[in-house]
Structure 1
Amino acid sequence: MALKAAGRTSLVDSAVEQLRTQLTDGEWAVGDRIPTEHELAQQLGVGRNTVREAVRVLVHAGLLESRQGNGTFVRSTADPAAVLRGVRHAGAADVLELRIALEAEAARLAAARRDADDLRRLRDALTTLREEGDRDADADLAFHLALVGATHNAAFVEVYRFFSAQVHEVLVEALGDRAMPPVDIDAHEALVAAVESGDQDAAEREARELLRVPMEAVTALTEQAE
């Protein structure tokens, strides 16, 4: 399929979108080497610098991979940007339900698989969370990433890392002028204790309890809007 010539405005953005479309439509398969900068520039009707910048954007997005001396190859045809748009357009309650499902299973796996290093990281993250205050989003995220890391499941870690940053944005937008519910330090401590004990049922229960307060806040807001 031939690429359409880009217009004069937003040349890089136009090139990015057209290349992204080619990737998601299956024009090139995972592992394929895409055409050279010169070939793409001719197909798009833009300069090579524009193509170079567009490719750089798609490399950063995880769709392409540059291999020095060999060219640029397709790394993925699944567009993360489309997933992000879907998450942002989902309701806050839907997003929280997904987060609860992920973290409940993460807690079960962590309780079964955690080692001494995992427990140390969880305790360190808990200490930082306690010291930084109950509204520090970065410290809270670090704690939950440590929990997911204790699953020793690389796919789980990558999915959660990708998803978690969007959760906070969705909740902040949903709550508007309302403050985010404070982080429940006691609930975090109970979760760590359950993981440390190796009790998978207790770990899942504590993970669900930890997210109960933000879910209640979002539910109350939804009911008021109806």
Structure 2
Amino acid sequence: MRFKDVFSIIGPAMIGPSSSHTAGAIRLGRVARCLFGSRPEHADITFYGSFADTYQGHGTDLAIVGGLLDYDTDDPRIPTSLDGAEEEGMDVTFRTSRTPAPHPNTARMNLKGGGRELTVTGASIGGGNIEISSINSFDVKFTGMYPTLVLSHEDRPGMIADITAILRIWNMNIGYMDLDRKSRNGEAMTVIEVDSPISGKLAEQIRSIGGMQEVGVVDLREGES
């Protein structure tokens, strides 16, 4: 990982013993919460590698549930997040897996509620930093460090041009873009990191593009979901 700032080494302000096992886990949960759009009714969480071995002792279970409740890394409610989930009506199940994962601190979150379902896989890569690797079986890559659009859409000619044309109108600078598709002319997912906050009006304009299916917005800096 490239050096970005001193917090990449010492980690963020946080509740918990480990930036990788707690702060990173909170951010994984918050990204999933952002993409789901609200508090899920049920969360099925699977831990891999080191997470699977130590998630209870290091509070990773409390942290990831805190993230799903939209707690930040230094929220004093993190140690009682399971009680908070119960109070808010969110049912939580924890599992462990010995299936090899790309990173030892990997978690998969399957969220359900309101007739919707979302599966997000990501890893805590150190210093409280994370990397999302999969959303609903699409291979993706983003960190949540910047405002991010996660777009599910038809794989058709001109789709990316339509998206970037709107971003240009809004004077949004693209820092990173990633695309995966399930088949030619089938379903696709595009991830775009930008340098400025993403307004609701911008998201709605992108949602109006022909063939656009879902528009997810991740902005952990805003503390909202």
- Normalised-by-shorter TM-score class: under 0.3
Structure holding more helix per residue: 1
Normalising by structure 2, report the TM-score.
Answer: 0.24
Give the greater-gyration-radius structure (CA): 1
- Higher relative CO (Cα under 8 Å, sequence separation at least 6) belongs to 2
Structure holding more strand per residue: 2
Normalising by structure 1, report the TM-score.
Answer: 0.24
